[in-house]
Amino acid sequence: MSLFMRYAALVRTDRIDLADALMTEFAERTGITAPGPGRRYLWTDAFAVCNFLGLAETTGDPRHTEQALRLIERVHTVLGRHRGDDGRSGWLSGLATTESERHPTRGGLRIGKPLPERSLHEPLDERIEWDRDGQYFHYLTKWMHALDQAARATGEVRFTRWARELAVAAHGAFVHAVPGSPSKRMHWKMSIDLSRPQIASMGQHDPLDGLITCTALDATATALGRSDAGPRLERIAADFASMVTLDRLATTDPLGLGGLLSDASRVAQLVREGSRPGCDGLLEALLVGAAVGLRSYARRPDLRAPAAGRLAFRELGLAIGLAAVEHLDDAGLGSVDARAARAGIASYFPLRTAIESFWLVEEHRRDDTWRAHQDINDVMLATALAPDGFLVRRTSPAWRP
């Protein structure tokens, strides 16, 4: 019987074993444990770093920490440099090699898409833009989070410094003033060198990602207590906060819903640490927005469709978010509305099992829709099965002197 067919009787150990198997195969398949750059994609690799760190803590196997650190190095040396088919070479920051190796995120990080970015005078073709390289802000914040988790797991200051330098670079490129207004906005996609927008519109949750991530990075730097932990991010976080509209967070996209739920967990953990994102009512707004979106999403036929009509990684993002909210303590939610929203979300907890169990069926993972996105699907399934590496901020990290 396939290892994945045992899901109906899963206990915690089984879930860890399944996640371990998925991540081991991912490491071998994408070149983490082999010479050469391998196959790098920023979103997938960010989740993978968190998974390896979580598995290291759960299993006590130092091999997983080594995989996480090796992957961080591979991402920086591949996605922190220009593409081989670009005509340009070297680090995106333009710094000399030695300096770039010390500051690998100062020029941002490429997405890792298969096609070259759209040139300056080339018209936008929405059909293929999804496959073109560039930089996404929401991918950069995922990598900042992965580096933050690495800092908290290892106590090494370089990880928080790299994350904070990436935050400064991303803010400087993606945030822009609105002509004739004191307001600021964000571009959704930038060119590889961060010199021009590739898609000028603003992502619904990009300012939210920036606010929560910068608050988390500052909290880690404070805990670390090192003067070389990189620039403070309060001013940048305030810019992001000014663009967050609390009553417009709801979405029916499962990946976006999962993000709201995961963000609610992150905010609750930050508040317990004594760090409050500079946006009053944020935790309540995240829960209320997610509850509204879940009610609408649950009425759609998506989760009753066959594998060929579904995108696993988007659904698994929702499963991860539901796992995050399962452990929220009502006593820390503050308002009655927040507790009511959390209670409403709880009625959808069975969706987590439904999503995971569907994609653990081997026949469903043989479908072309799974195979077309196998790396991201495998990694996010592993995150759903063993989410602590991605979701949990260590409250008492063993900082090295």
pLDDT of residue 224: 87
Q: Which of 93, 94, 128, 101 is nearest to 114 (CA)?
A: 128
pLDDT band at 400 (very low <50, low <70, confident <90, very high): very low
Write the single-letter amino acid at 128. I
Tell me the per-residue pLDDT of 242-301, one tens digit each, with 9 for 90 and over: 999 999 999 999 999 999 999 999 999 999 888 888 888 999 999 999 999 999 999 999
Tell me the per-residue pLDDT of 226-254, one tens digit each, with 9 for 90 and over: 777 888 999 999 999 999 999 999 999 99
Tell me the per-residue pLDDT of 51-65, one tens digit each, with 9 for 90 and over: 999 999 999 999 999
pLDDT of residue 276: 84
Distance CA 23, CA 380 (A): 10
Tell me the per-residue pLDDT of 358-373, one tens digit each, with 9 for 90 and over: 999 999 999 999 999 9
